[in-house]
A and B are shown apart, each in its own frame.
Chain A
Amino acid sequence: MTTNEVVGLLKKGRAYASRTKYKEAIVYYEKALSLDPNNPEAWYLRAAAFVETGRNAEALNDCARAIALNQNYADAWSKKGHVLYNLERFEDAVFACTRALALNGNDASAWYIKGVCLDELGRNDEAQEAYGKSLELEIILDMEAEKKKVGK
Protein backbone atom coordinates (compact mmCIF):
# COMPACT_ATOMS: atom_id res chain seq x y z
CA MET A 1 0.00 0.00 0.00
CA THR A 2 1.29 3.46 -0.82
CA THR A 3 -0.22 6.65 0.52
CA ASN A 4 0.03 8.22 -2.90
CA GLU A 5 -2.01 5.45 -4.43
CA VAL A 6 -4.79 5.91 -1.85
CA VAL A 7 -4.77 9.68 -2.29
CA GLY A 8 -5.02 9.21 -6.06
CA LEU A 9 -7.96 6.83 -5.75
CA LEU A 10 -9.82 9.19 -3.42
CA LYS A 11 -9.19 12.07 -5.79
CA LYS A 12 -10.66 10.10 -8.68
CA GLY A 13 -13.65 9.13 -6.58
CA ARG A 14 -14.26 12.75 -5.60
CA ALA A 15 -14.07 13.80 -9.25
CA TYR A 16 -16.84 11.32 -10.10
CA ALA A 17 -18.90 12.36 -7.08
CA SER A 18 -18.70 16.03 -8.08
CA ARG A 19 -20.32 15.03 -11.37
CA THR A 20 -23.01 13.13 -9.43
CA LYS A 21 -21.60 9.79 -10.66
CA TYR A 22 -21.79 8.22 -7.21
CA LYS A 23 -21.65 4.56 -8.24
CA GLU A 24 -18.33 5.10 -9.99
CA ALA A 25 -17.07 7.15 -7.04
CA ILE A 26 -17.91 4.32 -4.64
CA VAL A 27 -15.82 1.90 -6.70
CA TYR A 28 -12.74 4.12 -6.23
CA TYR A 29 -13.42 4.64 -2.51
CA GLU A 30 -13.69 0.88 -2.07
CA LYS A 31 -10.37 0.35 -3.81
CA ALA A 32 -8.83 2.92 -1.45
CA LEU A 33 -10.38 1.22 1.57
CA SER A 34 -9.07 -2.18 0.50
CA LEU A 35 -5.58 -0.67 0.49
CA ASP A 36 -5.97 1.35 3.67
CA PRO A 37 -8.94 0.48 5.90
CA ASN A 38 -7.67 2.90 8.56
CA ASN A 39 -8.16 5.95 6.38
CA PRO A 40 -11.01 8.00 7.92
CA GLU A 41 -11.39 10.17 4.81
CA ALA A 42 -12.11 7.13 2.64
CA TRP A 43 -14.87 6.01 5.02
CA TYR A 44 -16.30 9.53 5.12
CA LEU A 45 -16.27 9.93 1.34
CA ARG A 46 -17.96 6.59 0.82
CA ALA A 47 -20.58 7.58 3.41
CA ALA A 48 -21.22 10.78 1.46
CA ALA A 49 -21.68 8.83 -1.77
CA PHE A 50 -23.93 6.29 -0.03
CA VAL A 51 -26.19 9.12 1.25
CA GLU A 52 -26.62 10.45 -2.26
CA THR A 53 -27.72 7.04 -3.50
CA GLY A 54 -30.18 6.51 -0.66
CA ARG A 55 -28.09 3.83 1.12
CA ASN A 56 -28.50 5.46 4.51
CA ALA A 57 -27.82 2.44 6.73
CA GLU A 58 -24.48 1.83 4.99
CA ALA A 59 -23.70 5.54 5.16
CA LEU A 60 -24.33 5.56 8.91
CA ASN A 61 -21.98 2.63 9.33
CA ASP A 62 -19.26 4.38 7.32
CA CYS A 63 -19.66 7.60 9.35
CA ALA A 64 -19.21 5.56 12.51
CA ARG A 65 -16.01 3.99 11.11
CA ALA A 66 -14.64 7.41 10.13
CA ILE A 67 -15.44 8.85 13.57
CA ALA A 68 -13.96 5.81 15.35
CA LEU A 69 -10.69 6.47 13.52
CA ASN A 70 -10.83 10.22 14.19
CA GLN A 71 -13.12 11.51 16.95
CA ASN A 72 -12.54 15.11 15.83
CA TYR A 73 -13.51 14.59 12.21
CA ALA A 74 -16.03 17.45 11.81
CA ASP A 75 -17.22 16.52 8.31
CA ALA A 76 -17.92 12.95 9.37
CA TRP A 77 -20.04 14.19 12.29
CA SER A 78 -21.87 16.54 9.93
CA LYS A 79 -22.54 13.73 7.46
CA LYS A 80 -23.73 11.55 10.32
CA GLY A 81 -26.22 14.32 11.16
CA HIS A 82 -27.44 14.27 7.56
CA VAL A 83 -27.87 10.47 7.56
CA LEU A 84 -29.71 10.50 10.88
CA TYR A 85 -32.02 13.20 9.53
CA ASN A 86 -32.76 10.98 6.51
CA LEU A 87 -33.52 8.14 8.93
CA GLU A 88 -35.83 10.54 10.84
CA ARG A 89 -33.76 10.15 14.01
CA PHE A 90 -34.01 13.88 14.68
CA GLU A 91 -32.71 13.94 18.30
CA ASP A 92 -29.62 11.95 17.31
CA ALA A 93 -29.13 14.16 14.24
CA VAL A 94 -29.18 17.29 16.42
CA PHE A 95 -26.53 15.71 18.65
CA ALA A 96 -24.30 14.81 15.67
CA CYS A 97 -24.65 18.28 14.14
CA THR A 98 -23.91 19.94 17.48
CA ARG A 99 -20.75 17.86 17.70
CA ALA A 100 -19.81 18.79 14.11
CA LEU A 101 -20.36 22.46 14.85
CA ALA A 102 -18.28 22.34 18.01
CA LEU A 103 -15.43 21.18 15.79
CA ASN A 104 -16.19 23.51 12.89
CA GLY A 105 -18.64 26.36 13.50
CA ASN A 106 -18.52 27.39 9.84
CA ASP A 107 -20.31 24.35 8.47
CA ALA A 108 -23.42 25.89 6.86
CA SER A 109 -24.84 22.48 6.05
CA ALA A 110 -24.61 21.26 9.68
CA TRP A 111 -26.37 24.43 10.91
CA TYR A 112 -29.10 23.92 8.34
CA ILE A 113 -29.67 20.23 9.16
CA LYS A 114 -29.67 21.09 12.84
CA GLY A 115 -32.31 23.76 12.14
CA VAL A 116 -34.45 21.36 10.11
CA CYS A 117 -34.29 18.69 12.84
CA LEU A 118 -35.06 21.16 15.62
CA ASP A 119 -38.01 22.35 13.56
CA GLU A 120 -39.21 18.75 13.29
CA LEU A 121 -38.90 18.42 17.07
CA GLY A 122 -40.99 21.57 17.56
CA ARG A 123 -38.07 23.49 19.10
CA ASN A 124 -38.85 26.57 17.01
CA ASP A 125 -36.68 29.21 18.65
CA GLU A 126 -33.58 27.02 18.52
CA ALA A 127 -34.45 26.11 14.92
CA GLN A 128 -34.62 29.78 13.94
CA GLU A 129 -31.25 30.42 15.52
CA ALA A 130 -29.68 27.51 13.62
CA TYR A 131 -31.31 28.63 10.35
CA GLY A 132 -29.98 32.13 10.96
CA LYS A 133 -26.41 30.86 11.35
CA SER A 134 -26.79 28.65 8.30
CA LEU A 135 -28.03 31.56 6.19
CA GLU A 136 -25.18 33.84 7.27
CA LEU A 137 -22.64 31.23 6.19
CA GLU A 138 -24.47 30.44 2.98
CA ILE A 139 -24.48 34.12 2.04
CA ILE A 140 -20.72 34.28 2.58
CA LEU A 141 -20.28 31.20 0.38
CA ASP A 142 -22.56 32.70 -2.25
CA MET A 143 -20.63 35.96 -2.28
CA GLU A 144 -17.38 34.03 -2.68
CA ALA A 145 -18.89 32.04 -5.57
CA GLU A 146 -19.97 35.31 -7.22
CA LYS A 147 -16.48 36.74 -6.82
CA LYS A 148 -14.96 33.64 -8.41
CA LYS A 149 -17.36 33.95 -11.32
CA VAL A 150 -16.44 37.60 -11.85
CA GLY A 151 -12.77 36.58 -11.67
CA LYS A 152 -13.26 34.00 -14.41
Chain B
Amino acid sequence: MKTEMPLSKPIRHFIKQTETILDTEISLLRNPEADPNGTLVDIYTYNIEKNIIIFPAHYMGLLKDFIIAKHCVNLLIKGAAVKKSHYLVCSFTGDSVYRGIHQIYIDALKDEAKKEKKLPVQKLIQMLNILYTDFNDDINELPWNPITNASVYYRMPKIRKTQLYYLMKEGKMDMDEMMEYEDVIPRRYFVLNKAMFYARDQYLAKTLPADELMPVVNIPQMKKFNHLEVKEMLTTRWTHTSWYQSKVFGDTMLEIMEKYLQKIDWNAEPSIEYFHDIYQIGVHMTNHFISYMSMKDWFVWESPKHLQEAQEKKAEYEFKALKKIFGDLIEESSADSSGG
Protein backbone atom coordinates (compact mmCIF):
# COMPACT_ATOMS: atom_id res chain seq x y z
CA MET B 1 0.00 0.00 0.00
CA LYS B 2 1.31 3.38 -0.95
CA THR B 3 -0.70 6.43 -0.02
CA GLU B 4 -0.23 10.06 0.91
CA MET B 5 -3.44 9.93 2.92
CA PRO B 6 -3.16 10.18 6.68
CA LEU B 7 -4.30 6.91 8.27
CA SER B 8 -4.69 6.02 11.92
CA LYS B 9 -2.29 3.47 13.37
CA PRO B 10 -4.70 0.51 13.70
CA ILE B 11 -5.90 0.95 10.13
CA ARG B 12 -2.40 1.12 8.73
CA HIS B 13 -1.59 -2.03 10.64
CA PHE B 14 -4.73 -3.79 9.42
CA ILE B 15 -4.12 -2.89 5.76
CA LYS B 16 -0.57 -4.19 6.03
CA GLN B 17 -1.79 -7.37 7.74
CA THR B 18 -4.39 -7.91 5.00
CA GLU B 19 -1.78 -7.42 2.28
CA THR B 20 0.61 -9.83 3.99
CA ILE B 21 -1.97 -12.55 4.59
CA LEU B 22 -3.23 -12.41 1.02
CA ASP B 23 0.09 -11.48 -0.58
CA THR B 24 -1.59 -8.68 -2.47
CA GLU B 25 -1.64 -4.90 -2.74
CA ILE B 26 -4.35 -2.46 -1.69
CA SER B 27 -4.79 1.07 -3.10
CA LEU B 28 -6.98 3.75 -1.59
CA LEU B 29 -8.95 6.14 -3.73
CA ARG B 30 -10.97 9.15 -2.70
CA ASN B 31 -13.83 9.98 -5.07
CA PRO B 32 -16.50 12.69 -4.73
CA GLU B 33 -19.03 10.40 -6.47
CA ALA B 34 -18.26 7.28 -4.41
CA ASP B 35 -21.00 5.24 -2.75
CA PRO B 36 -21.40 6.14 0.96
CA ASN B 37 -20.68 2.47 1.78
CA GLY B 38 -17.43 2.70 -0.14
CA THR B 39 -16.62 0.23 -2.89
CA LEU B 40 -14.16 -2.61 -3.02
CA VAL B 41 -12.84 -3.34 -6.50
CA ASP B 42 -10.85 -6.50 -5.93
CA ILE B 43 -8.70 -8.92 -7.88
CA TYR B 44 -10.86 -11.86 -6.81
CA THR B 45 -13.94 -10.41 -8.49
CA TYR B 46 -12.55 -8.41 -11.39
CA ASN B 47 -9.76 -9.00 -13.83
CA ILE B 48 -7.44 -6.32 -12.42
CA GLU B 49 -3.95 -6.24 -10.92
CA LYS B 50 -4.48 -4.65 -7.53
CA ASN B 51 -7.29 -4.07 -5.09
CA ILE B 52 -8.81 -0.63 -4.75
CA ILE B 53 -10.93 0.67 -1.89
CA ILE B 54 -12.91 3.72 -3.00
CA PHE B 55 -14.65 6.05 -0.55
CA PRO B 56 -16.41 9.43 -0.65
CA ALA B 57 -14.14 12.48 -0.79
CA HIS B 58 -15.66 14.00 2.34
CA TYR B 59 -14.71 10.96 4.44
CA MET B 60 -11.35 12.27 5.58
CA GLY B 61 -10.89 10.85 9.05
CA LEU B 62 -12.39 8.01 11.03
CA LEU B 63 -15.30 7.47 8.62
CA LYS B 64 -12.72 6.72 5.94
CA ASP B 65 -10.89 4.40 8.36
CA PHE B 66 -14.08 2.48 9.08
CA ILE B 67 -14.85 2.00 5.36
CA ILE B 68 -11.29 0.77 4.79
CA ALA B 69 -11.48 -1.65 7.73
CA LYS B 70 -14.79 -3.05 6.52
CA HIS B 71 -13.51 -3.64 3.02
CA CYS B 72 -10.28 -5.18 4.28
CA VAL B 73 -12.39 -7.81 6.07
CA ASN B 74 -14.40 -8.36 2.87
CA LEU B 75 -11.18 -8.72 0.93
CA LEU B 76 -9.77 -11.20 3.45
CA ILE B 77 -12.88 -13.36 3.19
CA LYS B 78 -12.86 -13.33 -0.61
CA GLY B 79 -9.10 -13.87 -0.84
CA ALA B 80 -9.14 -16.73 1.65
CA ALA B 81 -11.95 -18.41 -0.31
CA VAL B 82 -9.96 -18.14 -3.55
CA LYS B 83 -6.74 -19.38 -1.99
CA LYS B 84 -8.27 -22.30 -0.10
CA SER B 85 -11.10 -23.36 -2.40
CA HIS B 86 -13.38 -21.19 -4.59
CA TYR B 87 -14.96 -17.82 -4.12
CA LEU B 88 -18.60 -18.10 -5.20
CA VAL B 89 -21.50 -15.67 -5.20
CA CYS B 90 -25.26 -15.96 -5.73
CA SER B 91 -25.67 -15.56 -9.48
CA PHE B 92 -28.59 -16.31 -11.79
CA THR B 93 -29.41 -17.99 -15.07
CA GLY B 94 -32.32 -17.67 -17.50
CA ASP B 95 -34.09 -20.53 -15.73
CA SER B 96 -33.51 -19.23 -12.22
CA VAL B 97 -34.76 -15.76 -13.22
CA TYR B 98 -37.92 -17.37 -14.55
CA ARG B 99 -38.46 -19.34 -11.35
CA GLY B 100 -37.95 -16.25 -9.19
CA ILE B 101 -40.09 -13.92 -11.25
CA HIS B 102 -42.81 -16.54 -11.64
CA GLN B 103 -42.98 -17.05 -7.87
CA ILE B 104 -43.18 -13.31 -7.22
CA TYR B 105 -45.94 -13.09 -9.85
CA ILE B 106 -47.98 -15.85 -8.19
CA ASP B 107 -47.64 -14.13 -4.82
CA ALA B 108 -48.50 -10.78 -6.38
CA LEU B 109 -51.69 -12.27 -7.85
CA LYS B 110 -52.75 -13.51 -4.42
CA ASP B 111 -52.26 -10.02 -3.00
CA GLU B 112 -53.87 -8.29 -5.95
CA ALA B 113 -56.99 -10.43 -5.59
CA LYS B 114 -57.61 -8.81 -2.19
CA LYS B 115 -57.02 -5.26 -3.42
CA GLU B 116 -59.70 -2.88 -4.59
CA LYS B 117 -57.26 -0.79 -6.61
CA LYS B 118 -55.39 -3.12 -8.93
CA LEU B 119 -51.84 -2.50 -10.05
CA PRO B 120 -51.49 -1.68 -13.80
CA VAL B 121 -49.83 -4.54 -15.73
CA GLN B 122 -46.79 -2.48 -16.75
CA LYS B 123 -46.18 -1.54 -13.12
CA LEU B 124 -46.61 -5.16 -12.08
CA ILE B 125 -44.02 -6.30 -14.64
CA GLN B 126 -41.62 -3.61 -13.51
CA MET B 127 -42.11 -4.65 -9.90
CA LEU B 128 -41.37 -8.34 -10.68
CA ASN B 129 -37.99 -7.46 -12.18
CA ILE B 130 -37.04 -4.96 -9.50
CA LEU B 131 -37.92 -7.31 -6.64
CA TYR B 132 -35.97 -10.20 -8.10
CA THR B 133 -32.89 -8.02 -8.59
CA ASP B 134 -33.22 -6.51 -5.10
CA PHE B 135 -33.27 -9.93 -3.47
CA ASN B 136 -30.27 -11.02 -5.51
CA ASP B 137 -28.33 -7.94 -4.38
CA ASP B 138 -29.44 -8.30 -0.77
CA ILE B 139 -28.64 -12.00 -0.51
CA ASN B 140 -25.14 -11.29 -1.81
CA GLU B 141 -24.56 -8.53 0.72
CA LEU B 142 -26.67 -8.90 3.82
CA PRO B 143 -25.31 -12.14 5.33
CA TRP B 144 -21.76 -10.74 5.09
CA ASN B 145 -22.65 -7.46 6.75
CA PRO B 146 -22.89 -8.71 10.37
CA ILE B 147 -19.73 -10.75 9.83
CA THR B 148 -17.77 -7.74 8.60
CA ASN B 149 -19.10 -5.47 11.32
CA ALA B 150 -18.52 -7.86 14.19
CA SER B 151 -15.01 -8.47 12.90
CA VAL B 152 -14.19 -4.74 12.70
CA TYR B 153 -15.73 -4.17 16.13
CA TYR B 154 -13.46 -6.71 17.81
CA ARG B 155 -10.32 -5.94 15.83
CA MET B 156 -10.48 -2.15 15.97
CA PRO B 157 -11.84 -0.87 19.27
CA LYS B 158 -10.63 2.67 18.51
CA ILE B 159 -13.20 3.19 15.76
CA ARG B 160 -16.25 1.84 17.58
CA LYS B 161 -17.97 5.22 17.90
CA THR B 162 -17.53 5.78 14.16
CA GLN B 163 -18.90 2.33 13.47
CA LEU B 164 -21.95 2.99 15.58
CA TYR B 165 -22.75 6.24 13.75
CA TYR B 166 -22.27 4.50 10.45
CA LEU B 167 -24.44 1.52 11.35
CA MET B 168 -27.27 3.69 12.61
CA LYS B 169 -27.20 5.55 9.31
CA GLU B 170 -27.05 2.32 7.30
CA GLY B 171 -29.81 0.68 9.38
CA LYS B 172 -32.11 3.63 8.87
CA MET B 173 -31.49 3.68 5.12
CA ASP B 174 -32.18 -0.05 4.81
CA MET B 175 -35.37 0.13 6.84
CA ASP B 176 -36.56 3.12 4.78
CA GLU B 177 -35.93 1.31 1.51
CA MET B 178 -39.09 0.12 -0.27
CA MET B 179 -41.30 2.10 2.13
CA GLU B 180 -43.02 3.96 -0.68
CA TYR B 181 -43.85 0.59 -2.29
CA GLU B 182 -45.30 -0.99 0.84
CA ASP B 183 -48.77 -1.14 -0.69
CA VAL B 184 -47.54 -2.09 -4.15
CA ILE B 185 -45.22 -5.04 -3.66
CA PRO B 186 -46.54 -8.39 -2.42
CA ARG B 187 -46.70 -8.37 1.37
CA ARG B 188 -44.49 -11.45 1.62
CA TYR B 189 -41.53 -9.72 -0.03
CA PHE B 190 -41.88 -6.49 1.88
CA VAL B 191 -41.88 -8.51 5.10
CA LEU B 192 -38.91 -10.68 4.10
CA ASN B 193 -36.86 -7.70 3.02
CA LYS B 194 -37.51 -5.81 6.25
CA ALA B 195 -37.02 -8.98 8.31
CA MET B 196 -33.50 -9.47 6.92
CA PHE B 197 -32.44 -5.97 7.95
CA TYR B 198 -34.27 -6.27 11.26
CA ALA B 199 -32.33 -9.46 12.04
CA ARG B 200 -29.03 -7.85 11.08
CA ASP B 201 -29.62 -4.81 13.29
CA GLN B 202 -30.78 -6.96 16.20
CA TYR B 203 -27.70 -9.15 15.87
CA LEU B 204 -25.36 -6.17 15.76
CA ALA B 205 -27.16 -4.51 18.67
CA LYS B 206 -26.55 -7.65 20.72
CA THR B 207 -23.01 -8.23 19.55
CA LEU B 208 -21.50 -4.75 19.46
CA PRO B 209 -23.44 -3.96 21.82
CA ALA B 210 -25.39 -0.97 20.58
CA ASP B 211 -28.87 -0.29 21.87
CA GLU B 212 -29.22 2.48 19.31
CA LEU B 213 -29.45 -0.13 16.56
CA MET B 214 -32.62 -1.74 17.89
CA PRO B 215 -35.21 -1.56 15.10
CA VAL B 216 -38.02 -1.63 17.66
CA VAL B 217 -36.65 1.62 19.02
CA ASN B 218 -35.66 3.37 15.80
CA ILE B 219 -38.40 2.43 13.36
CA PRO B 220 -41.64 4.26 14.14
CA GLN B 221 -43.81 1.45 12.76
CA MET B 222 -42.06 -1.09 14.98
CA LYS B 223 -42.06 0.90 18.19
CA LYS B 224 -45.43 -0.50 19.19
CA PHE B 225 -44.00 -4.03 19.22
CA ASN B 226 -41.41 -3.24 21.85
CA HIS B 227 -42.40 -4.81 25.19
CA LEU B 228 -45.70 -5.98 23.75
CA GLU B 229 -47.15 -8.99 25.55
CA VAL B 230 -47.42 -12.23 23.61
CA LYS B 231 -51.16 -12.41 24.16
CA GLU B 232 -51.55 -8.91 22.90
CA MET B 233 -49.33 -9.59 19.91
CA LEU B 234 -51.40 -12.55 18.83
CA THR B 235 -54.56 -10.53 18.41
CA THR B 236 -55.76 -10.02 14.87
CA ARG B 237 -55.11 -6.34 15.14
CA TRP B 238 -51.35 -6.89 15.24
CA THR B 239 -50.97 -9.96 13.07
CA HIS B 240 -52.36 -8.06 10.11
CA THR B 241 -49.65 -5.42 9.97
CA SER B 242 -46.62 -6.07 7.80
CA TRP B 243 -44.38 -4.62 10.50
CA TYR B 244 -45.58 -7.20 13.01
CA GLN B 245 -44.84 -9.90 10.45
CA SER B 246 -41.41 -8.41 9.77
CA LYS B 247 -40.65 -8.70 13.46
CA VAL B 248 -41.79 -12.32 13.64
CA PHE B 249 -39.83 -13.36 10.53
CA GLY B 250 -36.92 -11.20 11.64
CA ASP B 251 -36.73 -12.93 15.02
CA THR B 252 -36.41 -16.28 13.24
CA MET B 253 -33.75 -14.86 10.92
CA LEU B 254 -31.89 -13.59 13.95
CA GLU B 255 -31.89 -17.13 15.36
CA ILE B 256 -30.44 -18.39 12.06
CA MET B 257 -27.78 -15.68 12.15
CA GLU B 258 -26.83 -16.46 15.74
CA LYS B 259 -26.71 -20.18 15.07
CA TYR B 260 -23.97 -19.72 12.47
CA LEU B 261 -22.10 -16.71 13.77
CA GLN B 262 -21.65 -18.06 17.29
CA LYS B 263 -19.12 -20.45 15.76
CA ILE B 264 -16.75 -17.57 15.00
CA ASP B 265 -14.05 -16.54 17.46
CA TRP B 266 -13.86 -12.83 16.61
CA ASN B 267 -10.58 -12.35 18.46
CA ALA B 268 -8.70 -15.23 16.84
CA GLU B 269 -5.39 -14.60 15.10
CA PRO B 270 -6.18 -13.71 11.46
CA SER B 271 -4.99 -16.20 8.85
CA ILE B 272 -6.09 -17.64 5.53
CA GLU B 273 -7.59 -20.65 7.33
CA TYR B 274 -9.49 -18.44 9.77
CA PHE B 275 -11.06 -16.29 7.03
CA HIS B 276 -11.79 -19.34 4.90
CA ASP B 277 -13.76 -20.80 7.82
CA ILE B 278 -15.65 -17.51 8.04
CA TYR B 279 -16.36 -17.64 4.31
CA GLN B 280 -17.83 -21.13 4.66
CA ILE B 281 -19.95 -20.09 7.62
CA GLY B 282 -21.23 -17.13 5.54
CA VAL B 283 -22.13 -19.44 2.66
CA HIS B 284 -24.01 -21.85 4.96
CA MET B 285 -25.86 -18.99 6.59
CA THR B 286 -26.78 -17.55 3.17
CA ASN B 287 -28.13 -20.95 2.11
CA HIS B 288 -30.21 -21.16 5.26
CA PHE B 289 -31.68 -17.69 4.58
CA ILE B 290 -32.45 -18.61 0.98
CA SER B 291 -34.13 -21.78 2.09
CA TYR B 292 -36.08 -19.99 4.86
CA MET B 293 -37.37 -17.45 2.34
CA SER B 294 -38.34 -20.30 -0.08
CA MET B 295 -36.03 -18.95 -2.77
CA LYS B 296 -33.95 -22.09 -3.15
CA ASP B 297 -34.16 -22.30 -6.93
CA TRP B 298 -33.96 -18.54 -7.54
CA PHE B 299 -30.18 -18.30 -7.48
CA VAL B 300 -27.14 -20.39 -8.33
CA TRP B 301 -23.75 -20.37 -6.58
CA GLU B 302 -21.31 -19.39 -9.28
CA SER B 303 -18.11 -17.40 -9.85
CA PRO B 304 -18.17 -13.57 -9.74
CA LYS B 305 -17.47 -13.64 -13.49
CA HIS B 306 -20.65 -15.67 -14.01
CA LEU B 307 -22.61 -13.03 -12.10
CA GLN B 308 -21.10 -10.20 -14.16
CA GLU B 309 -22.03 -11.99 -17.38
CA ALA B 310 -25.49 -12.75 -16.03
CA GLN B 311 -25.98 -9.08 -15.20
CA GLU B 312 -25.14 -8.22 -18.81
CA LYS B 313 -27.79 -10.69 -19.98
CA LYS B 314 -30.34 -9.69 -17.35
CA ALA B 315 -32.69 -7.82 -19.71
CA GLU B 316 -32.74 -10.83 -22.03
CA TYR B 317 -33.41 -13.26 -19.14
CA GLU B 318 -36.19 -11.06 -17.81
CA PHE B 319 -37.79 -10.71 -21.23
CA LYS B 320 -37.81 -14.48 -21.76
CA ALA B 321 -39.21 -15.11 -18.27
CA LEU B 322 -41.97 -12.54 -18.75
CA LYS B 323 -42.79 -13.92 -22.20
CA LYS B 324 -43.18 -17.35 -20.64
CA ILE B 325 -45.51 -15.99 -17.96
CA PHE B 326 -47.52 -13.44 -19.93
CA GLY B 327 -47.24 -14.84 -23.46
CA ASP B 328 -48.11 -12.39 -26.23
CA LEU B 329 -48.88 -9.64 -23.74
CA ILE B 330 -45.15 -9.06 -23.67
CA GLU B 331 -43.70 -7.12 -26.56
CA GLU B 332 -40.05 -6.24 -27.10
CA SER B 333 -40.84 -2.69 -25.97
CA SER B 334 -42.27 -3.81 -22.63
CA ALA B 335 -39.08 -5.69 -21.88
CA ASP B 336 -37.11 -2.55 -22.70
CA SER B 337 -39.20 -0.52 -20.32
CA SER B 338 -39.28 -3.17 -17.60
CA GLY B 339 -36.60 -1.22 -15.71
CA GLY B 340 -35.02 -4.22 -14.00
Contact = CB atoms under 8 A, between A and B. Distances in A.
Interface of A: 18, 20, 51-54, 56, 82, 85-86, 108-109, 111-113, 115-116, 119-120, 128, 131-132, 134-135, 138-139, 141-142, 145-146
Contacts of A108: 60-61
Given A142-B58, A145-B56, A145-B58, A116 B165 contact: no
Contacts of B50: none
A18 to B, nearest CB: 7
B161 A132 contact: yes
Contact of A112 (B6, B32, B36, B158): B6
**5 shortest interchain CB distances as A-B pairs:** A112-B61, A134-B61, A109-B60, A113-B6, A135-B62
Given A18-B32, A131-B158, A141 B6 contact: no
Given A116-B6, A116-B8, A135-B63, 16 more contacts: A18-B32, A20-B30, A52-B4, A56-B4, A109-B6, A111-B61, A112-B8, A113-B6, A128-B158, A131-B8, A135-B165, A138-B61, A138-B62, A138-B63, A139-B165, A142-B59
Interface in B6-52: 6-9, 30, 32, 36
Given A120-B9, A131-B158, A112 B60 contact: yes
Interface string B314-340: 000000000000000000000000000
Contacts of A131: 8, 61-62, 158
A54 B4 contact: yes
Nearest to A53: B4
B31 to A, nearest CB: 8
B287 to A, nearest CB: 35
B62 A112 contact: yes
A107 to B, nearest CB: 10
A82 B58 CA distance: 16
Nearest to B162: A135
A145 B162 CA distance: 17
Contact of A116 (B7, B32, B63): B7
A128 B158 CA distance: 8
Most-contacted residue by chain A among B4, B32, B63 (CB, 10 A): B4
